[in-house]
Amino acid sequence: MTSDLGCGPQTSSPWRLSIIIEWANTIWNGEARAVQLLDRLGEEWREICADRYPKNLPGEAIEFLKRRSPRIELLIVSGVAGVTSLEADIRRRLPESFDVAIHVCEGLEYYPLKNFGAGRARGDFLLFVDSDVLPEKGWLAHLLGSFARPDVHVVCGQTYVEPRDFISRTFALGWSYQLRDESAGFITPAKFYANNIAFRADVFHQSGFAPVGLRSRGACSLLGEALERRGICVWENRTTGVDHPPPAGFRHIVVRALVHGRDYYLKDSERSLDGVKRAARIARERLVRGYKETSRHWRKVGLRRREIPAAMAVMTFYYGVVVLGGVLTHFRPALTIRFRL
């Protein structure tokens, strides 16, 4: 389903944005990438404040952005206390118009951190950004400008892996995210992610990210179902997106795959071999898709012909470990339950 941006303004009163960044992903991907994200956010906001908008941004979106509050709220939420030592440096990196606050609730992880941050946000719009993604130029204007449409209550950008080296090219082709689609406009995606997604605040506060038990991921699917029951559509603005890093090294690859398998197994609460079968089925489907994407798009991502067998071998290893994650969760759950992402 597609749609064009073409609705007028909803209100003349200034609106305020709250950006919520979970700090959990820095455990695997490091704080350097999070610092890059903060720099990008500062650049994006400066462009908007200077009325320098992307050339392909619709006029209605520009008018909407001009009605913004001059202040922006940035909340960094962490499950460990160490992030507070970075506060001074974070403030120095961002424009003066950013109201920065760091909140710590020890022990909280990915989705609970996002809910924790949302509960402390005061903006009319809530933008959730993962600490390890890097937005494209113009991303903030395109994403926020989407709310010029009264029917847009939730909107995300594309998520993809930028193919920079062999590992990122391999994961761009054979992992959770699709390749960057250069088409513009709005679609209703079959799947969306929490790493770059914005809500009207009242809409999010009525649902939030649902608990996922012992899993690390899966709350977006539950949220999508809850919103659908309320008649609310999640849109994806394909004009923009963010670069998501591949796993950071061999250990991260193994842990990420084990967690994937565990989460597929735990999708239903009852322990049974059906969970193992589900993990194996999804792993097989993802692997086949990765093979197909590689055969079709290896040139597009800059993979060399001689690297194709190695890329497929990495995919095979990854999804083999996914199956192992499902098996271990059934027979030795204590080995996989402790892994968190």
Each residue of 69-96: pLDDT tens digit?
A: 999 999 999 998 888 788 888 999 999 9
pLDDT class for 12, splitting at 50, 70, 90? Answer: low
Asked whether the predicted pLDDT for residue 168 surpasses 50, the reply is yes
Asked whether the predicted pLDDT for residue 13 surpasses 70, the reply is yes
Q: What is the pLDDT of residue 228?
A: 96
Q: What is the pLDDT of residue 269?
A: 64
Q: What is the pLDDT of residue 299?
A: 98
Q: What is the pLDDT of residue 7?
A: 34
Is pTM beyond 0.95? Reply is no
pLDDT class for 8, splitting at 50, 70, 90? Answer: very low
CATH 3.90.550.10 domain locations along the chain: 2-243
Work out the end-to-end distance of the chain between its first and last CA atoms, rounded to an integer number of angstroms.
Answer: 32
Asked whether the predicted pLDDT for residue 207 surpasses 70, the reply is yes
The percent of residues above 90 in pLDDT, for the chain, comes to 87
Give the model confidence (pLDDT) of 273-318 as tens digits: 999 999 999 999 999 999 999 999 999 999 999 999 999 999 999 9
Mean pLDDT in residue range 131-137? 97
Q: What is the pLDDT of residue 208?
A: 95
pLDDT class for 138, splitting at 50, 70, 90? Answer: very high
Residue 127: strand pairing partners:
19, 198
pLDDT class for 1, splitting at 50, 70, 90? Answer: very low
Asked whether the predicted pLDDT for residue 2 surpasses 60, the reply is no
Q: Kindly report the three-state secondary structure assignment for every residue of the chain.
A: CEECCCCCCCCCCCEEEEEEEECCCHHHHCHHHHHHHHHHHHHHHHHHHCCCCCCCCCHHHHHHHHCEEEEEEEEEEECCHHHHHHHHHHHHHCCCCEEEEEEECCCCCHHHHHHHHHHHCCCCEEEEEECCCEECCCHHHHHHHHHHCCCCCEEEEEEECCCCCHHHHHHHHHCCCCCCCCCCCEECCCCCCCCEEEEEHHHHHCCCCCCCCCCCCCHHHHHHHHHHHCCCCEEEEEEEEEECCCCCCHHHHHHHHHHHHHHHHCCCCCCCHHHHHHHHHHHHHHHHHHHHHHHHHCCCCCCCHHHHHHHHHHHHHHHHHHHHHHHHHHHCHHHHHCCCC
Give the model confidence (pLDDT) of 193-206 as tens digits: 999 999 999 999 99
CATH of region 2-243: 3.90.550.10
Q: What is the pLDDT of residue 275?
A: 93
Mean pLDDT in residue range 261-266? 95
